[in-house]
Amino acid sequence: MNRYPLWKYLLIAASLLAALLYTLPNLFGESPAVQVSGANAATKVDEAARERAIGALKGAGLRPDGVFAEANSLKLRFKDTETQLKAKDAIQGALGENYIVALNLLPQTPAWLAAIGGKPMFLGLDLRGGVHFLLEVDMKAALDKQLEKVAGDIRRELRDQKVRYGRVVRERDSVSVQLRDQATLTATVRAIGRVLPDMALQQIAREGDYRVVVRFKPEAQVKLKNDAVAQNITTLHNRVNELGVAEPVIQQQGEGRIVVQLPGVQDTAKAKDILGRTATLEVRMADDDQARIQAAFNGDVPAGYELVPMAGVRSGMPPAVLLKKEVELTGDNITKAEPTYDQNNNPIISMGLDATGASIFRTLTRENIGKSMAIVLVEKGKGQVITAPRINAELGGSFVIEGGGMTVQEANDISLLVRAGSLAAPMNIIEERTIGPSLGRENIEKGFYSTLYGFIAIAIFMVLYYRLFGVVSTVALGANLLFLLALLSAIGITLTLPGIAAIALTLGMAIDSNVLINERVREELRNGMSPQMSIQNGYSHAFATILDSNITTLIAGIALLVFGSGAVRGFAVVHCLGILTSMYSAVFVSRGIVNLIYGYRRRLSTLSIGQVWVPQQQKQA
């Protein structure tokens, strides 16, 4: 009756073994490391760069403990921080400014464990230290950028409406449109009012001075600022995620500020680079007038134009392109950027535009057939022309970028950078803080010892009170802890101090299931059941209760997970997982052990479950 089929025992054994394996990486700790990556999308950490780095180390007489070459980065593990610092200087010297050489920590997980996906738990900022930034969104720049766009929209609309207009100039916080007479003024006001309802219009009609001054309405300005912050947060998320920093915290703080926490990153310079490496695409019109291009190369750039260098200069191409400053289309309107191949198997990027973008793009290409258009990748405030094709036909909501000999890697990088989105406004770091690893270590220690002491207290009590069944419960509780740690490590959930609290609380609550079972078994014995029957009934009766009570707790946990943030969320994740593992270990694992102990005994007269007291009246009955 109390025998599991063999596969169940095997399942228990296998799950325990797996839990042990995946918990193991946490014991190895971390060692200092140096990480090398390219400073921008164009710089790759290729074979040559790797060799140069390793050569530099040899030259300095340093030997790395481990070399890990990844797609676009190189990680070198060192024995101590002193070697790490020396190595950083040596590599930086050898590779130059085009590469970022940053200090980092690497887990010392042995290769065979890493090969099966074993990795230590990610520790939150409060446990491992890390960098913390407070960024301020440059609202003035956000407004400038939007006004630049508004100016473009006005020109386009007036052209479409066939209204004759003079200069459209962006001033400090407004765009002014020069007009000829009252009639064009009225037509302009009507046209702008229709397409740009968010703008406040001021009409100036004096003899010889007909103008419309366009400003953002106050409420539109507020919305603009909020949108800028929201978009920057999204972009930062994408950026940081694509670079693989474990569970970063990116939140708005107050008006126009963004907090970024990158746990585990030791080097603020590297972190700054992660945040700064945001790119956007811009579509701008190029000037094809050879005389003017020549003049520009000689240093005479016409007003309203600028020379933008080509990305990855190749033979037979000019080093730079003369572009209008006016931006026709930005990354905001781009919905898709995917690397693919054209019919000749050359890498291209397939782009998609949203409705607004498509409409702008259609007008732009229709009116400029025969002229050149440039697609500019703007990274860290600096533009690079990816391609400057001649417009042959009207284009709609989707188009491709063919980069004249662009490599597959470049196509991948550009699409990744564009996908990661663009910043609505530049940001300045107004505060940066590094949380030292020593404080984190202290927090881990305190959390660990409080859990340990609690566990010991519970174990002692359970064994004294329930004897052998208490031992089984304690083993099940230990298994629960193991499962939980293994899950946290394998899934890659960031453990924070509240998470440690959740581990402790979950263990405290998990013993409930065991107590329920043990009490039920005792009760069955008290009612005069045979030992084997008591085990059977005890477990099955207790199960309904365990299920109900755990599911209600789980409901509470999931709600916290969905709506909590920060500390609450860190707690909820571990709590929810703990409830699941405790159900498995309390019901399945403990039953398995009990079955192994008692299930195969023919004549079982007593169970070692502590004293079972039977009331006098029941005995007589």
Partner 1 sequence: MEFFRIKRDIPFMSYGKLTTAISLLTFILAVFFLVYKGLNFGVEFTGGTVMELRYSRPADLNQIRATVDALKYGESQVQALGTTRDVMVRLPNLKHKTSAQLSNEVLHTLKQARPDVELRKVEFIGPSVGEELVQHGLIALTLVCVGIIVYLAIRFEWRFAVSAVIANMHDVIIILGCFALFEWEFSLTVLAGILAVLGYSVNESVVVFDRIRENFRKPGMRGKSVPAIIDNAITATMSRTMITHGSTEAMVLSMLLFGGPALHGFAMALTIGIVFGIYSSVLVASPLLLMFGVTRENMLKPVRVKEEAVV
Q: In terms of Cα–Cα distance, which of 277, 266, 278, 260 is closest to 429?
A: 260
Residues 6+ apart with CB under 8 A from 573: 493, 499, 502, 561
68: part of which helix (H) or strand (E)?
strand 66-69
Are 286 and 371 in contact, with CB atoms under 8 Å apart? yes
Tell which one of 567, 596, 597, 604 touches partner 1 (CB under 8 A).
567
Query: Of the two residues 89 and 255, which places its CB atom closer to partner 1 in the complex?
Result: 255
- 17-25, 194-202, 318-326, 610-618 -> range binding partner 1 (CB under 8 A): 610-618
Pairing state between β 494-495 and 122-123: parallel
Q: Which is nearer to partner 1, 286 or 501 (CB)?
A: 501
The whole-angstrom separation of Cα 560 and Cα 553 is: 11
Contact between 519 and partner 1 by CB under 8 A: the answer reads yes
Q: How far, CA to CA in Å, does 419 sit from each of 256, 280, 312, 408, 473? A: 23, 9, 21, 16, 51
Please give the residues from 409 up to 448 whose contact with partner 1 meets the rule CB under 8 A: 431, 433, 436, 438-439, 442-443, 446-447
Dist. CA 5–CA 599, nearest whole Å: 11
Min dist CB 565 to partner 1, Å, is 6
Residue 318 or 454: the one with the smaller Cβ distance to partner 1 is 454
- 525 is an interface residue for partner 1 by CB under 8 A: no
Please report whether residue 512 would count as binding partner 1 according to CB under 8 A: yes
Token pair of 206 as six digits? 């004096």
Q: What is the DSSP letter of 320?
A: E
Min CB(536)–partner 1 separation in Å = 17
Minimum CB distance to partner 1 smaller for 342 or for 431: 431
- Rule CB under 8 A: choose which of 98, 202, 251, 356 binds partner 1: 251
* Residue placing its CB nearer to partner 1 in the complex, 276 or 508: 508
When asked if residue 104 is in the footprint of partner 1 (CB under 8 A), the reply is: no
Residues 113-152 that bind partner 1 (CB under 8 A): 126, 134
Dist. CA 588–CA 584, nearest whole Å? 5
- Position 504 contacts partner 1 (CB under 8 A): yes
CA triplet 230, 236, 241: central angle to 5 degrees? 130
Contact pick of 312, 389, 397, 508 for partner 1 (by CB under 8 A): 508
CB of 420 to partner 1, least distance (A): 25
Minimum Å distance from CB 533 to partner 1? 17
Sequence-distant (≥ 6) Cβ neighbours of residue 476 within 8 angstroms? 514, 585, 586, 589, 590, 593
Nearer of residues 128 and 277 to partner 1, judged by Cβ: 128
451 part of the interface to partner 1, by CB under 8 A: yes
Select 346 or 549, whichever has its Cβ closest to partner 1. 549
Nearest approach in angstroms of CB 610 to partner 1 is 5
478 binds partner 1 per the rule CB under 8 A: no
Contacts of 196 (CB under 8 A, 6+ apart): 150, 153, 154, 214
615 in contact with partner 1 (CB under 8 A): yes
CB of 250 to partner 1, least distance (A): 13
The answer to the question of residue 367 lying near partner 1 (CB under 8 A) is no
The footprint of partner 1 on this chain (CB under 8 A) covers a number of residues equal to: 79
Using an 8 Å Cβ cutoff, are 288 and 296 in contact? Answer: no
392 is an interface residue for partner 1 by CB under 8 A = no
What separation in angstroms does the CA of 211 have from each of 176, 179, 193?
Answer: 7, 6, 15
Contact window for partner 1 (CB under 8 A) among 48-56, 108-116, 306-314, 504-512? 504-512
Instruction: 19-24: list long-range contacts, CB under 8 Å, 24+ apart.
Output: 19/479, 19/482, 19/483, 19/485, 19/486, 20/482, 20/486, 21/113, 21/116, 21/118, 21/486, 22/117, 22/118, 22/486, 22/487, 22/489, 22/490, 23/482, 23/485, 23/486, 23/489, 24/113, 24/118
Q: Report how far apart, in Å, the C-alpha atoms of 385 and of each of 59, 235, 257, 309, 382 are.
A: 39, 22, 31, 6, 10
Closest approach, Cβ 506 to partner 1, in A, equals: 9
Give least dist CB 424 to partner 1, A: 19
Considering only the stretches 253-261, 313-321, 385-393, 529-537, report the one whose residues sit in contact with partner 1 under the rule CB under 8 A: 253-261
Among 108, 174, 252, 363, binds partner 1 (CB under 8 A): 252
Alpha helices of 111-267 — where are they, by DSSP H? Answer: 111-115, 125-128, 139-160, 182-195, 218-242
Q: Smallest gap, in angstroms, from Cβ of residue 457 to partner 1? A: 4
Burial class (CB in 10 A: 0-12, 13-18, 19+), 59: exposed
231 versus 333: smaller Cβ distance to partner 1 = 231
Work out whether 501 is an interface residue with partner 1 (CB under 8 A).
yes
Q: What residues from 537 to 556 belong to the interface with partner 1 (CB under 8 A)?
A: 541, 544-545, 548-556
DSSP structural state of residue 389: P
Among residues 133 and 361, whose Cβ is nearest to partner 1? 133
- Edge-to-edge order in the sheet of strand 329-330: 329-330, 279-285, 373-379, 382-387
Interface pick for partner 1 out of 44, 170, 215, 575 (rule CB under 8 A): 575
Q: Any idea which residue has 């969905």 for tokens?
A: 562
Stretch that binds partner 1, among 2-10, 280-288, 290-298, 456-464 (CB under 8 A): 456-464
Smaller CB distance to partner 1: residue 605 or 611?
Answer: 611
608 binds partner 1 (CB under 8 A): no
Per CB under 8 A, 254 contacts partner 1: yes
> 132-163 as b/e, with b when 16 or more CB fall inside 10 Å?
bbbbbbbbebbbebbbbbbbbbbebbbeeeeb
Length of the chain: 621
Quick one: which segment of 23-31, 52-60, 191-199, 505-513 binds partner 1 (CB under 8 A)? 505-513
Q: Footprint of partner 1 on residues 18-57 (CB under 8 A)?
A: none
| Residue 216 makes contact with partner 1 by CB under 8 A | no
Which of the ranges 19-27, 54-62, 73-81, 503-511 carries the binding residues for partner 1, by CB under 8 A?
A: 503-511
Judging by DSSP bridges, how do beta strands 168-170 and 30-38 pair with one another? Answer: unpaired
Among 343, 344, 611, 620, binds partner 1 (CB under 8 A): 611
